[in-house]
Amino acid sequence: MARINASGRDDNMGKDRRDAGRMTIDDTKRLYRQLKRVRRVEEEVARLYPSDVIKSPVHLSIGQEAASVGVCDVLERRDAVGATYRGHAAYLAKGGDLKALMAELYGKATGACRGKGGSMHIIDMNVTVLGTSAVVGTTIPIAAGFAWAFKQDGDRRVVATFFGDGATEEGVFHETLNFASLHKLPILFVCENNFYAIHEPLAKRWASLALCARVEQYGMPATRIDDGDIRRIRSAASDAVAAMRDGKGPAFLEVCAYRWREHVGPAEDFAAGYRPADEARPWQARDPVDLLGSELDPALRAAIDDEIDDEIAEAITFAESSPFPERAALYRDVYAD
């Protein structure tokens, strides 16, 4: 199986970094802030959801944040990201506006999609978030289409597409891997493997658990990160992106993680019987948010946490005070101009 060495960039605006594996204190602060911000946003979404102010189903990535944060940290603003219906983390990690996200969840006209997309369909081309989708696997070929366009333009932009382990069972996943490898497209495939497709575990779906070995048959390097370590994720993504910018074609990351909440909704679901609570505890014990936070001075960490909570409170106020779309908006954005 391919191993990816450390290299990278200074931040998501594309400045060079000599070693993505050895992080400076500024790196640690930035990544902790991103991880904690995503975590707290989704915890607030879970808190608000039972009140019915949020107008669409929500799929939370609590426990899985490191994949999006680690990958997006080595991308430039002009690079593109596609994600799934569990896409809040990717949207925020790529630089999406928190107020626009919260307003979208509320179905308000000030939302990222003017209140028409909800939680599962977030698009923001200001930060090159291509969109998320409720249909499993559908964002994968769209991401490849953008990668094809970037290659034709010759401007060294790359695409990262996030998807779950369930999407690897879709035919379009295999078709896109083949096409991307054949044409050496600048696309990073990121499988967030949380071991369940809704309620069905891998053992009942896959004859072989060697996902990376299957992917390598398409002629691209594939790396499995089995512990959710954000340093390993970021280092792997950094080297893959650098190679793609040099025209070496696509790469694949399998990032193992664990979903702490139910498949859809704000609560835990261990009582449902399809997975035991004991299964989650090892992952919770090595929570990337807490591990990274423990490396910071307690006063600094508390200041970052307070900053995040203030930002979230402001975004919620913005969403609550924003207007719903007017009736005429039903007829806008139906056809392309």
pLDDT for position 10: 31
Q: Between 190 and 24, where is the model more confident?
A: 190
pLDDT for position 276: 95
Burial class of residue 6, CB neighbours in 10 A (0-12, 13-18, 19+): middle
Judge whether residue 4 has pLDDT over 50: no
- Round to the nearest angstrom and report the end-to-end CA distance of the chain: 46
Q: Between 25 and 289, where is the model more confident?
A: 289
pLDDT for position 333: 85
- The arithmetic mean of pLDDT across residues 301-322, rounded, is 98
Q: What gap in Å lies between CA 3 and CA 240, rounded to an integer?
A: 10
Contact 4, 236 (CB under 8 A): yes
Of 260, 287, 309, 292, nearest to 59 by C-alpha is 260
- The arithmetic mean of pLDDT across residues 132-159, rounded, is 96
Judge whether residue 9 has pLDDT over 70: no
Considering the chain, what percentage of its residues have pLDDT values greater than 90?
Answer: 90
Burial class of residue 227, CB neighbours in 10 A (0-12, 13-18, 19+): middle
Q: Please write down the HEC assignment for all residues of 186-217.
A: CEEEEEEECCEECCEEHHHCCCCCCHHHHHHC
Of 179, 234, 219, nearest to 34 by C-alpha is 234
Q: Could you read off the pLDDT of 294-304 as tens digits, one per residue? A: 999 999 999 99
CB atoms within 10 A of CB 35: 25
Across the chain, the runs of DSSP E, i.e. the strands, are 8-9, 16-17, 80-82, 129-131, 159-164, 187-193, 196-197, 200-201, 222-225, 251-256
pLDDT for position 20: 46
Structure tokens at 290: 């807490």
Q: What gap in Å lies between CA 142 and CA 131, rounded to an integer?
A: 9
Superfamily of domain 8-16+25-323: Thiamin diphosphate (ThDP)-binding fold, Pyr/PP domains (3.40.50.970)
Confidence at 21, pLDDT banded by 50, 70, 90: low
Q: What gap in Å lies between CA 187 and CA 250, rounded to an integer?
A: 5
Contact 61, 45 (CB under 8 A): no
Q: What gap in Å lies between CA 249 and CA 178, rounded to an integer?
A: 11
pLDDT for position 6: 23
Confidence at 22, pLDDT banded by 50, 70, 90: low
- The arithmetic mean of pLDDT across residues 179-183, rounded, is 98
Q: What gap in Å lies between CA 205 and CA 30, rounded to an integer?
A: 38
Judge whether residue 19 has pLDDT over 90: no
Backbone angles phi, psi at 207, to 5 degrees: -70, -30
pLDDT for position 311: 98
- The arithmetic mean of pLDDT across residues 136-143, rounded, is 96
CB atoms within 10 A of CB 184: 16
pLDDT for position 23: 78
Contact 39, 289 (CB under 8 A): yes
Confidence at 334, pLDDT banded by 50, 70, 90: confident
Instruction: With H, G, I as helix, E, B as strand and everything else as coil, classify residue 233.
Output: helix
- The arithmetic mean of pLDDT across residues 212-234, rounded, is 97
pLDDT for position 3: 30
Of the given ranges (104-108, 277-281, 309-313, 330-334), which has the lowest mean pLDDT?
330-334
Structure tokens at 282: 């090892």
Contacts of 24 (CB under 8 A, 6+ apart): none
pTM score, whole prediction = 0.92
- Average predicted confidence (pLDDT) for the chain: 92
HSE-up of 307 (CA within 13 Å, CB side)? 13
